[in-house]
Amino acid sequence: MSVLVSDEILQAANMSDADLKRELAILLYQQKKLGLSKARELADMPLIEFQRELAQRHIPVFDDMAGFESEIAQLQEMGDL
């Protein structure tokens, strides 16, 4: 599925398409609708860069050990680890 956002909307928000993807990915990650791997993929960012962005916003990368282990498994499946 693709989502089209007009240039007018991006200009009104003073954002690039990359900014919008990053903000959406962070929002969905923060709301626990996407895991770290999928959010990073949506943001089209390297994993470490996405983690740095989360850290700058004081958004925890992992809530507990189970979350950490789940993300490791997803990263391995995606070939990111």
Q: Which sign does the torsion angle of CA 26, 30, 32, 33 carry? A: negative
Enumerate helices (H) and strands (E) in the chain, giving the number of each. Answer: 5, 0
User: Model pTM?
Assistant: 0.76
Per the domain annotation, does 36 fall within a domain?
Answer: yes
Per the domain annotation, does 59 fall within a domain?
Answer: yes
Per the domain annotation, does 35 fall within a domain?
Answer: yes
Per the domain annotation, does 2 fall within a domain?
Answer: no
Per the domain annotation, does 1 fall within a domain?
Answer: no
Per the domain annotation, does 38 fall within a domain?
Answer: yes
Per the domain annotation, does 45 fall within a domain?
Answer: yes
Going by pLDDT thresholds of 50, 70 and 90, the confidence category of residue 81 is: low
The string of pLDDT tens digits covering residues 10-67 is 999 999 999 999 999 999 999 999 988 899 999 999 999 999 999 999 998 876 677 6
Per the domain annotation, does 73 fall within a domain?
Answer: yes
